[in-house]
Amino acid sequence: MNFIFISPTFPKKYWQWCDALKNNGITVLGIGDTPYEELCMELKSSLTEYYKVGNMEDYDQMYKAVAFFAYKYGKIDWIESNNEYWLEQDARLRTDFNINTGLKTDKIMNIKEKSEMKKFYAAGGIRTARQILGRQGYKAAAKFAEEAGFPLFVKPDIGVGSTDSYKLNNDEELHNFFNTKKYNDYVIEEFVTGDICTYDAIINSKGEPLLESMCVCPPSIADIVNNNLDSVYYVEKDINENLRFWGRQTVKAFDVKSRMVHLEFFRLDRAHKGLGNKGDFVALEVNMRPGGGFTPDMINYAHDIDVYKVWAEMVAYDERKLPDPHNDYYCVFAGRRDNVDYVYSHQDIMTKYAYALKMWERMPQILSAAMGDQTYIARFRTKEEMDEFLYYVCLRK
């Protein structure tokens, strides 16, 4: 089997996807813009061959790279990046080379445009916040505000990481939005409050989950980015059964096959007319790729499992061979800001929680707005221990 992995150098931990593929007997071919000599040793040893392009945004260069591999190695069975940024390009390459193990061009906008996602949620009977398109104009938005009430929430129709997403609290702010933004590119939704919970799963070609997990993100990424908050989220010890149900319903509604997914839901913190009661789940958006940042590693730490291996087994065999270890923890991520004074120092954290810490890293600037500058990942047996850790790490002067 020939697998082309797009951009295997970013994020830097992505060599693990390639390594797992190689360990399952798959020929792994990499395409990226990083010079070969700058690849980490782990990635070099995972790849059968690497093709450097000058600009990954240039489709002609990417097409020629795939064509070269097809000429040299024969039929290409998979093309995948596991990266939101490249999903559309992945689909175009699959279409042009007639590769049927992933989304093609005719379906990619169904999972890229938030407005298109609504249609599939509705068809699957999955509750979502009401929404209108910015291109419907100010009058339609004002009427929508009368029905849904302020605040409203505005966000790009295509986008990730909550960039340029924020509340509109009154008609003046709504009017200002239409005067200052390229509103055709945005959607406007009724404002929903609660934790964001994610259904993370590896799905085989029959639409069946081979692995399921749950992340909880209080506060939202939008609040973190807009308010300079510490970045905090965690993997639950056990998946909520209602979230499992709605996650599987979403997989069916979007006809997900042969992918790892990161599906976002609100868990309502109060009753919301038309959506449900406190604790109910309301769909937010789908991400047809693994959770960002260190989420795959955190799932591994939480459940003593190897997500990379399970995913590679899905690719190679369409089934999971790795047994369930039945050993679960809370795994938590905390990202601190360089421009904030904290009560406890980095060394204090390293000393006090040496027994629990699994990873700690500085974030590159491109990721720091959403994830913080200095990050920590730790795991605990109880939620009380986890909460004490977060209090210690995030306590400000």
DSSP string for 168-218: E-SHHHHHHHHHHS-GGGEEEEE---EEEEEEEEEE-TTS-EEEEEEEEES
**DSSP 8-state secondary structure symbol assigned to residue 54:** S
> Measuring CA to CA, how many Å separate 340 from each of 336, 345, 350, 386, 397?
8, 11, 18, 22, 9
Q: Give the DSSP H or E segment for 51.
A: strand 49-52
Q: Provide the pLDDT for residue 160.
A: 59
Q: Please write the tens of the pLDDT for every residue from 209-218.
A: 999 999 999 7
The stretches in the chain having pLDDT less than 50 are none
Report the distance separating Cα 87 and Cα 112, nearest Å.
8
Q: Provide the pLDDT for residue 229.
A: 78
Amino acid sitting at position 229: L
Report the distance separating Cα 63 and Cα 49, nearest Å.
16
Q: Provide the pLDDT for residue 223.
A: 61
Cβ count within 10 A of residue 325: 10
| Closest C-alpha to 265, from 273, 248, 252 | 248
Q: Please write the tens of the pLDDT for every residue from 365-374.
A: 888 888 899 9
Token pair 């087994």: residue: 313
Those residues whose C-beta lies under 8 Å from the C-beta of residue 395, and which sit 6 or more positions away, are: 342, 343, 344
Report the distance separating Cα 138 and Cα 127, nearest Å.
26
CA dihedral 373, 227, 387, 365 (to 10 degrees): -10
Amino acid sitting at position 81: S
Those residues whose C-beta lies under 8 Å from the C-beta of residue 354, and which sit 6 or more positions away, are: none
The encoded tokens of residue 38 equal 């700058």
Report the distance separating Cα 263 and Cα 244, nearest Å.
11
Q: Provide the pLDDT for residue 366.
A: 82
> Measuring CA to CA, how many Å separate 9 from each of 121, 171, 309?
34, 45, 18
Q: Provide the pLDDT for residue 268.
A: 96
The three-state DSSP-derived secondary structure of 73-128 is HCCCCEEECCCHHHHHHHHHHHHHCCCCCCCCHHHHHHHHCHHHHHHHHHHCCCCE
Whole-model pTM: value is 0.93
Report the distance separating Cα 322 and Cα 348, nearest Å.
38
Residue pair 184/330 in contact by the 8 Å Cβ criterion: no
Report the distance separating Cα 313 and Cα 342, nearest Å.
44
DSSP string for 270-287: S-BTTTBSTT-EEEEE--
| Closest C-alpha to 112, from 136, 87, 129 | 87
Residue 347 CA to chain centroid, in angstroms?
31
Amino acid sitting at position 318: D
